[in-house]
Chains A and B, each alone.
Chain A
């Protein structure tokens, strides 16, 4: 049966971009262990020769004519942006600051 450590939960949180607190980690580590142990029951089913189902409705590609249809205006697309500038989304820096090696972002996978 799987058990998940506090360190592993911290790693998951980092992968999922969740800056969880230490006290959350304690709670989540216990809860995730209980949940994962329970859902691991799917492994009891002998299903080696069973094809997986990803979707309830078996569909192949849906095609349509390649014609222009209405979309969002630039103004509409930016209307909910936390910050916008010059008609674009303004985002925090995406590269590490070369002058400040102590301020590295979360580790990359």
Chain B
């Protein structure tokens, strides 16, 4: 049988459900691939081979007994970002402060994956507490980009994206607070989706910035992402900001796009998300993608969202403010690391020593920025003003969505940058989120679909498609149509251009 790790999730599900192969065989193939390449990629912080094989065996047993598949993805393996709680695996958030922590409960997303028969291979690397754009802020070392292992895979969900691009898993889960699903998708040539805020439960997603955090699907194709979206999405009473409405019909939309083109779809190109600071090859790939959308029948117009220019500074006040509050829970008392408890030091001293030892530099920076922005005397000028800018960004979206169905932009201004290039320059790192942040602040849906490689360095570029709140299906339709046209024009899928990984012996 041809290499199972090169197949899409939809193909694997078909083969498993028709009994042409087994979930166990598919799982073993991916575990073997992880064993062969993850030394070079370091996408995983934890691999649970026994748990994955047991989950796969349960799917096979049910199918062999004649039961219908538990879901469209039953038996398909998945890589889970290490920010979702799991009772049977550690949950570290890429931080020393949670090293080896075994949560006493499963996240809702995890419960839904298990109930759907999705096989969880392990937990993926990430920037500590999802703060970063390169996965270099992980306490456990960086993940490498399968397109060029000297380069970053994006972040914070670099492990999930790299696992897909290295064919270690056909599906992954990420979280997107300022672009942490979409930007890694863009720089690894994979698909990443930030659903509408409230569309996927945050219960058991370790909080960074609660009003922005959103879990979502990652995959190598638009259809696979849509299939996963329908498994994890929907109302959850355990998350008070979960939207009590049906999941938008994203699978149907992805298929409709691939089959039917984009006649009658109005696409807005956002003026503010291009120009100075964007890599020329990224802009050219983006412009070619827009031409492709036009060729598919879309009506393309340019639109302006002037407040987007202030999205980055507003985000880097709001997210650190919420983070400084959320991360106060890491107090060395109830779980996680405790340092310096020598029976003479006070709780406060132990707390301060533990947080100093357990948090990395970026987490400390953001906690201090947030503490500053929330201080009396500064609150109105910083946090309060950022919240007003947030209102203006939402109004910009509302105004343009009255005229167009979706908005498009490059997902991130550059291709994958070299490991180490921006680690000493926080502001340069923050610029990676320039295009993705507006949708987090407004809460609407947005995704990244690969749109070729940049002619200046041969690395993948992402096309961002932004949709109105609860109209996630529009993005899937546009991305599905674009992906089909892109592959037809190239004669092959984009991801098949990833260099072969050097396979190391076990």
Bound-state CA distance A57–B364 (Å) is 29
A59 at the A/B interface (Cβ < 8 Å)?
yes
What chain B residues lie within 8 Å of A35 (beta carbons)?
316, 365, 369, 426-427, 430
Q: Are A42 and B385 in contact (CB under 8 A)?
A: yes
Bound-state CA distance A5–B105 (Å) is 43
What chain A residues lie within 8 Å of B477 (beta carbons)?
none
Q: Are A80 and B364 in contact (CB under 8 A)?
A: no
* Chain A residue nearest in CB terms to B470: A57
Q: Are B335 and A12 in contact (CB under 8 A)?
A: no
Give the distance to chain B from A32, nearest Cβ to Cβ, in Å. Answer: 6
Q: Are A42 and B341 in contact (CB under 8 A)?
A: no
**Would you list which residues of chain A between 27 and 63 have a CB under 8 Å from chain B?**
27-28, 31-32, 34-36, 38-45, 47, 50-57, 59, 62
Q: Are A82 and B104 in contact (CB under 8 A)?
A: no
B346 at the A/B interface (Cβ < 8 Å)?
yes
Give the distance to chain A from B505, nearest Cβ to Cβ, in Å. Answer: 37
Q: Pick from A27, A36, A92: contact of B350, CB below 8 A.
A: A92
Q: Are B390 and A13 in contact (CB under 8 A)?
A: no
Bound-state CA distance A18–B357 (Å) is 9
| Chain A contact residue count (CB 8 A cutoff) | 59
Q: Are A12 and B384 in contact (CB under 8 A)?
A: no
Give the distance to chain B from A60, nearest Cβ to Cβ, in Å. Answer: 11
**Would you list which residues of chain B between 339 and 389 have a CB under 8 Å from chain A?**
341, 343-353, 355-356, 359, 361, 364-365, 367-369, 371-372, 375, 381-382, 384-389
Q: Pick from B104, B355, B391: contact of A17, CB below 8 A.
A: B355
What chain A residues lie within 8 Å of B385 (beta carbons)?
42-43, 45, 47
What chain A residues lie within 8 Å of B328 (beta carbons)?
17
Interface-facing stretch out of B1-9, B44-52, B156-164, B307-315: B307-315
**Would you list which residues of chain A between 59 and 80 have a CB under 8 Å from chain B?**
59, 62, 64, 72, 76-77, 79-80
What chain A residues lie within 8 Å of B372 (beta carbons)?
4, 12, 32, 36
Q: Are A92 and B346 in contact (CB under 8 A)?
A: yes
Give the distance to chain B from A109, nearest Cβ to Cβ, in Å. Answer: 10
Q: Pick from A32, A40, A83: contact of B338, CB below 8 A.
A: A83
B385-416 interface code vs A (CB 8 A; 1 in, 0 out): 11111111010000000000000000000000
A101 at the A/B interface (Cβ < 8 Å)?
no
Q: Are B335 and A80 in contact (CB under 8 A)?
A: yes
Give the distance to chain B from A20, nearest Cβ to Cβ, in Å. Answer: 6
Q: Are B310 and A44 in contact (CB under 8 A)?
A: yes
B332 at the A/B interface (Cβ < 8 Å)?
yes
What chain B residues lie within 8 Å of A45 (beta carbons)?
307, 310, 385, 388-389, 392
Number of A-B contacts (CB under 8 A): 191
Q: Are A39 and B317 in contact (CB under 8 A)?
A: yes
B134 at the A/B interface (Cβ < 8 Å)?
no
Bound-state CA distance A42–B307 (Å) is 10
Bound-state CA distance A101–B331 (Å) is 24
Bound-state CA distance A79–B345 (Å) is 24
Given A35-B427, A53-B390, A92-B343, also A72-B197 (CB < 8 A)? no
What chain B residues lie within 8 Å of A7 (beta carbons)?
none
Bound-state CA distance A51–B332 (Å) is 38
Given A80-B104, A105-B348, also A15-B371 (CB < 8 A)? yes
What chain B residues lie within 8 Å of A53 (beta carbons)?
387-388, 390-391, 394, 441
* Chain B residue nearest in CB terms to A34: B427
Q: Are A94 and B368 in contact (CB under 8 A)?
A: no
Q: Pick from B353, B388, B443: contact of A19, CB below 8 A.
A: B353
Given A19-B356, A47-B388, also A12-B371 (CB < 8 A)? yes
Q: Please, could you name 9 A-B residue pairs with CB atoms under 8 Å apart, sorted by A? A: A13-B364, A18-B368, A21-B356, A31-B426, A39-B386, A51-B391, A52-B384, A57-B241, A106-B348
The 9 lowest CB-CB distance pairs between A and B, nearest first, are: A56-B443, A80-B335, A52-B387, A82-B338, A47-B388, A76-B104, A19-B352, A19-B356, A39-B313
Q: A53-B441, A96-B346 are in contact. List 15 more A-B contacts (CB 8 A).
A: A15-B371, A16-B371, A17-B351, A18-B352, A28-B365, A35-B426, A39-B369, A42-B314, A53-B394, A57-B197, A80-B102, A80-B336, A83-B338, A92-B346, A105-B347
Q: Which chain B residues have a beta carbon within 8 Å of chain A's beta carbons?
A: 101-105, 197-198, 211-212, 237, 240-241, 243, 307, 310, 313-314, 316-317, 324, 328, 331-338, 341, 343-353, 355-356, 359, 361, 364-365, 367-369, 371-372, 375, 381-382, 384-392, 394, 426-427, 430, 441-444, 469
